[in-house]
Amino acid sequence: MTAAIGGAAPMYWRERKTLLACFLGQRGFKTKLGSHGKLVPCYPFPEEAILALSRAVEYAEMRERPRGRIPRLRGIRRERARETMEQAMSRSSQRSLWLSPPEIRDLLECYGIRVVETASATTADEAAIQASKIGFPVAVKLLSSTISHKTDVGGVILDLNSDGEVKQAFNNITANLAKIGRDKEMEGVTLQRMVKGGVETIVGVTQDPSFGPLMMFGSGGIYAELVKDVSLRLHPLTDLDASEMVRSIKMAKLLEGYRGSPPGDLEAIEDLLLRLSAMVEDLPQIDELDFNPVKIMPKGEGYRLLDARIMVR
């Protein structure tokens, strides 16, 4: 591609080259160049002409890329998922509704999305019993349908190794909420076996008023909103979309193995993205979804989904 500064070089028409003209300071100026009198785009500054060329190149490259395919996924129970969604939405007349942990777990199981073993409890004693069943060490997290960021309110306590520590964690979370006047929003706690290692990522879905569902993948954990290292794609995802999403973030080098660290199981996380895309396709009631963190384990070990939130309307 060639930009003609000042509208020179009509020979480019014979060579079938892209031609742009630049008349300094003349915004909206139109001209015809060459022996055929073709209308040429004109720009007041060279920078704008170059930017236009770069956008055209990007668009051409995008059209030449393989489109990929939407794979057929095994083990999906769509009817069961629809029943779970209908039951969840029938329990409230509110326009927006956060699904409960059991409802989320049922939906994810219908789509073959693996979640770390989780139990819930409403008292300190019950929490200790559930922790013993899961096996130590465990993490205790606030259970609340109204508080999204549990860490911000002291609602997450990790590496607990005994019944006594679990009971104390339950009481500490209750006290932390009471300090800020939100103890009535506590519905109990969830307990999970601690997951060591892995790289924390985030997977999500949001609704764009113009384009519909947007799929997100990026760096996760408590710094996800601070770092904002994410990639976005329009729904539905193809196999190439999922692969590009995983490999296009800044943290991709870490996932592929960086300075001696083991490469992550990228195929597993791609499968998660594709299954999530299928779930969004089947259940249009999903308005917002957030998996954070999803720990990508070393190659061959899959991923560990530690926390999930789903809003429907």
pLDDT over threshold 70, residue 161: yes
CB 273 within 8 A of CB 203: yes
pLDDT-based confidence at residue 2 (cuts at 50, 70, 90): very low
Round the average pLDDT of the chain to a whole number and report it. Answer: 87
- Residues 59-76 have a mean pLDDT of 88
Determine phi and psi for 9, rounding to 5 degrees: 65, 65
The confidence score (pLDDT) of residue 33 equals 60
pTM tops 0.85, yes or no:
no
pLDDT over threshold 50, residue 175: yes
pLDDT-based confidence at residue 171 (cuts at 50, 70, 90): very high
Report which DSSP code applies to 88: H
Q: Specify the pairing of strand 19-22 against strand 42-43.
A: parallel
Intrachain domains 117-193 and 199-312 with the same fold: no
CATH topology (fold) of 199-312: D-amino Acid Aminotransferase; Chain A, domain 1 (3.30.470)
CB 252 within 8 A of CB 264: no
CB 68 within 8 A of CB 241: yes
Give the domain ranges of the chain: 2-64, 117-193, 199-312
pLDDT over threshold 90, residue 101: no
pLDDT-based confidence at residue 91 (cuts at 50, 70, 90): confident
What's the pLDDT tens digit per position in 7-23? 444 444 455 678 888 88
Alpha helices in the chain (DSSP H): 11-14, 46-64, 78-90, 101-110, 124-134, 163-179, 224-227, 239-248, 252-255, 266-282
The b-or-e profile of 156-185 (16+ CB within 10 A means b, else e) is bbeebeebebbbbbbeebeebbeeeebeee
What's the pLDDT tens digit per position in 118-150? 889 999 999 999 999 999 999 999 998 788 788
Share of the chain above pLDDT 90, in %: 56
Tokens of 246: 């995983």
pLDDT over threshold 70, residue 59: yes
The confidence score (pLDDT) of residue 224 equals 75
Angle in degrees, CA 223, 313, 192, rounded to 5: 45
More confident site: 50 or 18: 50
Region 117-193: CATH code: 3.30.1490.20
